[in-house]
Amino acid sequence: KAGVTQTPRYLIKTRGQQVTLSCSPISGHRSVSWYQQTPGQGLQFLFEYFSETQRNKGNFPGRFSGRQFSNSRSEMNVSTLELGDSALYLCASSLWQAEGGYTFGSGTRLTVV
Amino acid sequence: GENVEQHPSTLSVQEGDSAVIKCTYSDSASNYFPWYKQELGKGPQLIIDIRSNVGEKKDQRIAVTLNKTAKHFSLHITETQPEDSAVYFCAAPKGGSQGNLIFGKGTKLSVKP
Between the two ends of chain B, the Cα-to-Cα distance in Å is 41
Q: How far is B88 from chain A (nearest CA, A)?
A: 12
Collect all residues from A whose CB is shorter than 8 A from any CB in B. Answer: 4, 33, 35, 42-43, 45, 48, 55-56, 58, 90, 92, 97-99, 101-107
Predicted confidence (pLDDT) per residue in B14-73, tens digit: 999 999 999 999 988 888 999 999 999 999 999 999 988 889 999 999 999 999 999 999
Average pLDDT over residues A3-32: 96
Q: Which residues of A touch B44 (CB under 8 A)?
A: 43, 90, 102, 104
Higher-pLDDT residue of B93 and A18 is A18
Q: Is A65 exposed, middle or buried (0-12, 13-18, 19+ CB in 10 A)?
A: middle
Predicted confidence (pLDDT) per residue in A31-72, tens digit: 999 999 999 899 999 999 999 999 989 999 999 999 999 999
Q: Which residue of A has its CA nearest to B42?
A: A106
A108 residue type, one letter: T
CA distance readout (Å), A68 to A33, A49, A61, A73, B10? 10, 6, 19, 6, 37
- Of A56, A46, A54, A51, residue with least CA distance to A21: A46
B98 has a pLDDT exceeding 70: no
Q: How far is B16 from chain A (nearest CA, A)?
A: 29
B41 touches chain A (CB under 8 A): yes
Predicted confidence (pLDDT) per residue in A62-106, tens digit: 999 999 999 999 999 999 999 999 999 999 999 887 777 899 999
- How many whole angstroms separate alpha carbon A53 and alpha carbon A57? 11
CA distance readout (Å), A103 to A1, A5, A41, A110, B56? 12, 10, 21, 21, 23
